[in-house]
């Protein structure tokens, strides 16, 4: 088989996500099948600017499938946001004779990839690597499944204390401006409320729910708070509720970066492997300037412009179901 591209590279950028290593492994192994040389770029776009690039073989990616984080490390690069920085990055690609690039990350990573495509005609393909699940053009992102399993496991442990002491816990999860983690965690943990950016939940409404729970002798409650919701942090919401309902013994917990770490679930390993294989295959067919995803179990290609600008919001039916189940 004759390929138009002979040498490709892969990098991870932005926040780390469980499954990134599985994706890197699949890129390297797939590249061998398609007769590509493959290089790894350390520390994302920052490493690309400064030439932190090394050739990767199958031995280099052995025994990483089950590991969290990213073997290539990751970083956010202010220099790459500049025209000069991207020129330097492009020159590094030319110096190493790299003709195709696979980037794994979120919206910021895709924005950088789009600029490389537009300004220097670099053949770039993107994979959605973020726990937030906020990338348009894919049902799920790499790392999301692991993150919600980690969050639910943490909330289950908090539930034991909440039940033992008849307490109300506000548990804050990550997600930036997306409520996916909070919504799925709330449903999976049986929370009495979920505060997410996509819904204008009022503290007053939740206080009424607590009063009804009290009349049913439900003595403990759990509320999941997305970090980007309109009512503030878990601590801020707790203070507002306490001012209006003094019968609850209120505590707050922030799960934080715990959600980013740990071994990826089977779902994330398979998703990452499938998308990475499809990315290498896309470059072999001269498809680029697009982000790959899975929609309805099928691989889809979304232009970077759409993947960045179009909003992916949680399904209204899922939000409605969460509200009904919490009553």
The answer to whether the CB of 21 falls within 8 A of the CB of 143 is: no
201: left (phi over 0), alpha (psi -120 to 50) or beta: beta
Q: For residue 35, give the nearest of 7, 71, 66 by alpha carbon.
A: 7
268 catalytic? Reply is no
CA-CA distances (angstroms) from residue 70 to 15, 104, 125, 243, 271?
Answer: 10, 10, 18, 44, 16
Q: For residue 291, give the nearest of 124, 108, 140, 139 by alpha carbon.
A: 124
- Burial state string for 283-320 with b = 16 or more CB within 10 A and e = fewer than 16: bbeeebbbbbbbeeeebebbebbebbeeebebeeeebe
Distance separating alpha carbons of residues 73 and 54, to the nearest angstrom: 13
Q: For residue 72, give the nearest of 50, 104, 101 by alpha carbon.
A: 104
DSSP 47-64: HHHTT-EEE--GGGGTT-
From the list 16, 52, 60, 132, the catalytic residue is 132
Residues marked active site are found at 132
């Amino acid at each position: 088989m004759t390929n138009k591209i002979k040498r490709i590279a892969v990098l991870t950028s932005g926040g780390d996500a469980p499954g990134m290593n599985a994706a890197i492994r699949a890129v390297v192994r797939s590249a061998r099948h398609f007769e590509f040389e493959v290089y790894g770029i350390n520390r994302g776009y920052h490493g690309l600017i400064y030439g932190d690039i090394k050739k990767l073989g199958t031995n280099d990616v052995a025994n990483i499938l089950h590991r969290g984080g990213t073997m290539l490390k990751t970083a956010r690069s202010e220099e790459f946001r500049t025209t000069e920085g991207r020129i330097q990055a492009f020159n590094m690609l030319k110096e190493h004779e790299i003709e195709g690039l696979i980037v794994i990350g979120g919206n910021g990573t895709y924005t950088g990839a789009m600029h490389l495509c537009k300004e220097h005609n670099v053949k770039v393909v993107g994979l959605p690597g973020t726990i937030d699940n906020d990338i348009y053009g894919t049902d799920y992102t790499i790392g999301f499944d692991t993150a919600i399993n980690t969050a639910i496991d943490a909330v289950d442990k908090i539930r034991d204390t909440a039940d033992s002491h008849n307490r109300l816990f506000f548990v804050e999860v990550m997600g930036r401006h997306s409520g996916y983690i909070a919504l799925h965690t709330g449903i999976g943990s049986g929370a009495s409320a979920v505060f997410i950016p996509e819904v204008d939940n009022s503290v007053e409404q939740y206080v009424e729910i607590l009063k009804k729970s009290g009349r049913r002798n439900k003595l403990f409650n759990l509320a999941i708070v997305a970090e980007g919701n309109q009512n503030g942090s878990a601590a801020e919401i707790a203070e507002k509720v306490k001012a209006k309902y003094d019968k609850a013994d209120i505590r707050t917990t922030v799960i934080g970066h715990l959600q980013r770490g740990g071994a990826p679930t089977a779902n994330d390993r398979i998703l990452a492997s499938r998308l990475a294989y499809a990315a290498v295959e896309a470059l072999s067919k001269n498809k680029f300037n697009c982000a790959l995803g899975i929609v309805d179990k099928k691989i889809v290609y979304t232009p970077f412009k759409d993947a960045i600008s179009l909003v992916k919001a949680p399904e209204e039916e899922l939000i409605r179901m969460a509200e009904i189940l919490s009553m």
